[in-house]
Amino acid sequence: MATLKAETFRANSSDELKTKLVELKKEQFNLRFRQASGELENPARMKSVRREIARIKTVLGEQNTASTKAEG
């Protein structure tokens, strides 16, 4: 899977981002489980999943800040 940039996440709504975040957290858990049992085939995927989670959290934070400033 190609690395996704933050710009691609900014085009999504917050509900879509939260859904994607849950999916990535589940995948991260499964990757950690496979690594512990010695069945992990692609260790680099752990790093990319972790970074995608961080990107989504960053975009969600930006959206929250923007909506707070718009209200106030």
Mean of the per-residue pLDDT values for the chain? 91
Locate the domains of the chain by residue range.
6-71
Q: Which CATH class is domain 6-71?
A: mainly alpha
Cα separations in angstroms, 4 against 8, 39, 44: 7, 26, 15
Identity of residue 68? T
- Burial label for 29, CB within 10 Å (0-12, 13-18, 19+), is exposed
What is the value of pTM for the model shown?
Answer: 0.87
Q: What is the pLDDT of residue 70?
A: 86
Residue pLDDT, tens place only, 13-22: 999 999 999 9
Residue pLDDT, tens place only, 16-68: 999 999 999 999 999 999 999 999 999 999 999 999 999 999 999 999 998 88
- Burial label for 49, CB within 10 Å (0-12, 13-18, 19+), is buried
